[in-house]
Structure formats: structure tokens, C-alpha cells
């Protein structure tokens, strides 16, 4: 196959991944709704026994079996999520083969790899604990990102500028993408935490969102988000350090307050403040969750706005 044909194959594989993740999104949503209804379906009615004593009814009720609900939609969702991850990985690999380099040198490729990492983190965490309640949101975000990548950020596979022809492209950018994927999953947990907290506080407009009954307690969601953000923060710290070393090799200076460098530092400060406030100042609950939302908004701006609006040494969007 020619490099052009391999590039076309990569695009087809990414489209296949998008379709699989979209199916997973729908299946996860059905599972959330189904799990909400199942409590009513499996609620055992109090038996009306003629001539029975008052204490006989509870005993009869306790003796009735309550079979666990079947979660066919969840099984379909997990299978299609895994398939989508495999298709996306194949699309990334073939993209690298077509370009003859590491496949994360522009916005389109960053979108592919970042989406893959987010889905992979979800699958890995789910292997240790049941976090399928995050599935609709993780696959939904990944589907949105891939749609933008294919329709807005896409460029043909090609080589890179001389400044990017370095092993630091693998280390610096690869770690940055991994951190972004981790931050994405942590963000979904914090958003659910805010929704569940508002629901528990009696927020009227959330009263009809019965699927929130199936989401873990806010404290559990906050703990999950904190662990993921701690990992992402360590990775982002290495991203900044590695970027500074690479900048010295490429441009003769470690730091120049380039727009990308500035916003990378802003992201680091926001997440550092979040971790500090939560561990030493006792910040928890919604205040901590909003910190995560602001941090992820900075991550998205650093990826989109900084690349598309500002001109700098890191303007490698390819658009």
C-alpha cells in the first residue's frame, strides 16, 4: 500500500471508532435510564394475605427472591467502547505509518490520541472498579472530539517542521496528551459530582433527572476525581519541564512566555491550587469540583483557542 492509501485507511478506522463510540454512548445512556427504572420494577409489593398476621407479611416479603437486573445495554456499551478504542488505536498507528513519524504533531492527531487516552483510562479504571456510570460522558466527549477532528482539524498526513524532528516530540507531546486524557475523565467525575450534589440539595430542575439516583455519592465521585487529577498533575508537570528542555535545544532558551507556554503554566497553577486547597485547606465538595471544571476549561482553551487564535512558536495546528 502507498502512504496515501494508508492515510485513507487511517481515516476510515477513525470513522469506525467514532461510530462504535457513538453506539456505546447510546447504550450507556440506556443503561443509566434502565437502572433507574429497575428499582421500581423489582420492588416487592407487600403481600395481601387473607387472615395473615401483621408480622407474617414482612417475613413473606423478605422470603421473595429479587433477581439482579439484567444489564444487557451495559454489556453492549462496554463491548463497543472496547471496539472503538481498538479501532482508534489502529487509526493512530496507521496515521503514524502514513506520516512516517510519531502521530501527534498537529491538532487532528492530538485529538485522536487524546480521545484514545481518555477512553483507555476509563477502561483501565473500570477494570478495577465499576465506573460504568461515567461511560456515557467519556464516550460522548470522545465522540465530540473525534467529530471535530475529522471535520474541522483534519489535514493530510505529512512530515513535520525541523524544530519538531526530535525525540522530545515523543516524550513532551506524548505525556501532554496522556495528561489531557486523564484530566478528561476526572472532569466527567467532577461534573457528575456537581449534578448529584445539586440534586441531593433539592434543586428543582434536577428533580426529573432520575438517572442521578444511580450515580455514586458526591464524596465517592470527588475521591475518584482527586486521584485522577493528581496523576494528571504529575504528568503535566513533566510536560512543562520537558517542554522547557526541548525549547532550550530548539530555540536556545528555556522559557519565553509564548502563548502555549503561558497557558500551560496557567493550567499547572490551577491544578496545583486545586490539589493544595483540597489537601491542606480542607476544600471539598462543590468548591473543589468547580476548580476541576475551571482547570479543564483551561486545558480545552490551551488546545483550541491558543492554537487557532494566537501566533507563536507552538503554532503547529496545521490549519
Q: Encode pLDDT of 83-130 as tens digits.
A: 999 999 999 999 999 998 889 888 999 999 999 999 999 999 999 999
Which cell numbers hold the place of 85?
A: 478504542
Q: What is the pTM of this model?
A: 0.85
Query: Which pLDDT score, from 0 to 100, does residue 257 have?
Result: 84
Contact 212, 206 (CB under 8 A): yes
Query: Which pLDDT score, from 0 to 100, does residue 123 have?
Result: 97
d(CA 286, CA 259): 30
d(CA 281, CA 237): 22
d(CA 16, CA 50): 60
Contact 312, 245 (CB under 8 A): no
Q: Is the pLDDT of residue 166 over 80?
A: no
d(CA 118, CA 263): 21
Q: Is the pLDDT of residue 289 over 90?
A: yes
Q: Which of 14-23, 29-38, 50-59 has the highest mean pLDDT?
A: 14-23
Contacts of 48 (CB under 8 A, 6+ apart): none
Query: Which pLDDT score, from 0 to 100, does residue 35 have?
Result: 62
Q: Is residue 62 very low, low, confident or very high in pLDDT (cuts 50, 70, 90)?
A: very low
d(CA 140, CA 80): 13
Query: Which pLDDT score, from 0 to 100, does residue 141 have?
Result: 96
More confident residue, 206 or 303: 303
Contacts of 107 (CB under 8 A, 6+ apart): 149, 153, 303, 304, 307, 317, 318, 319
The average pLDDT across 60-72 equals 51
The average pLDDT across 181-205 equals 89
Query: Which pLDDT score, from 0 to 100, does residue 134 have?
Result: 95
Q: What is the pLDDT of residues 69-94, one digit of tens each?
A: 567 888 999 999 999 999 999 999 99
Contact 57, 46 (CB under 8 A): yes
Give the mean pLDDT of the chain.
Answer: 84
Query: Which pLDDT score, from 0 to 100, does residue 42 have?
Result: 42
The average pLDDT across 272-286 equals 88
Q: Is the pLDDT of residue 297 over 60?
A: yes
d(CA 176, CA 170): 10
Mark out the alpha helices in the chain (DSSP H runs).
3-41, 56-63, 72-99, 107-128, 135-148, 168, 174-200, 218-251, 259-280, 286-303, 305-309
Query: Which pLDDT score, from 0 to 100, does residue 211 have?
Result: 82
Q: Is the pLDDT of residue 219 over 90?
A: yes
User: b or e along 78-115 (b: 16 or more beta carbons within 10 Å of the residue's beta carbon)?
Assistant: bebbebbbebbbbbbebbbbbbebbbbbbbbbbbbbbb
Query: Which pLDDT score, from 0 to 100, does residue 137 have?
Result: 95
Q: Which of 56-70, 180-194, 246-260 has the highest mean pLDDT?
A: 180-194
Which cell numbers hold the place of 13?
A: 478506522
Q: Is the pLDDT of residue 38 over 60?
A: no
Amino acid at each position: 500500500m502507498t502512504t496515501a492509501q494508508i492515510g485513507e485507511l487511517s481515516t476510515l478506522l477513525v470513522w469506525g471508532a467514532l461510530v462504535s463510540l457513538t453506539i456505546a454512548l447510546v447504550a450507556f445512556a440506556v443503561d443509566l435510564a434502565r437502572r433507574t427504572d429497575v428499582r421500581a420494577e423489582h420492588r416487592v409489593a407487600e403481600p395481601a394475605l387473607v387472615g395473615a398476621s401483621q408480622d407474617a407479611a414482612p417475613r413473606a416479603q423478605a422470603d421473595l427472591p429479587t433477581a439482579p437486573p439484567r444489564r444487557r445495554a451495559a454489556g453492549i456499551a462496554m463491548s463497543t467502547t472496547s471496539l472503538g478504542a481498538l479501532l482508534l488505536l489502529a487509526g493512530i498507528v496507521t496515521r503514524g505509518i502514513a506520516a512516517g513519524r510519531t502521530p501527534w504533531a498537529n491538532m487532528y492527531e492530538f485529538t485522536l490520541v487524546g480521545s484514545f487516552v481518555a477512553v483507555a483510562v476509563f477502561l483501565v479504571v473500570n477494570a478495577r472498579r465499576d465506573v460504568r456510570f461515567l461511560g456515557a460522558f467519556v464516550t460522548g466527549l470522545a465522540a465530540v472530539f473525534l467529530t471535530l477532528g475529522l471535520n474541522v482539524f483534519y489535514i493530510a498526513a505529512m512530515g513535520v517542521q525541523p524544530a519538531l524532528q526530535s525525540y522530545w516530540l515523543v516524550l513532551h507531546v506524548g505525556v501532554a496528551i496522556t495528561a489531557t486524557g486523564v484530566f478528561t475523565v476526572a472532569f466527567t467525575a467532577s461534573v457528575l459530582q456537581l449534578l448529584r450534589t445539586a440534586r441531593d440539595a433539592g434543586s428543582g430542575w434536577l428533580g426529573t433527572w432520575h438517572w442521578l439516583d444511580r450515580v455514586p455519592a458526591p464524596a465517592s465521585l470527588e475521591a475518584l476525581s482527586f486521584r485522577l487529577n493528581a496523576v494528571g498533575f504529575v504528568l503535566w508537570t513533566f510536560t512543562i519541564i520537558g517542554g522547557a528542555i526541548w525549547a532550550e535545544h530548539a530555540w536556545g532558551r528555556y522559557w519565553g512566555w509564548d502563548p502555549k507556554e503561558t497557558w500551560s503554566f496557567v493550567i499547572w497553577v490551577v491544578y496545583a491550587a486545586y490539589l493544595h486547597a483540597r489537601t491542606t485547606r480542607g476544600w471539598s465538595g462543590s468548591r473543589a469540583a468547580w476548580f476541576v471544571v475551571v482547570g479543564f476549561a483551561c486545558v480545552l482553551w490551551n488546545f483550541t483557542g491558543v492554537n487557532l487564535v494566537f501566533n507563536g512558536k507552538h503554532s503547529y495546528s496545521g490549519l
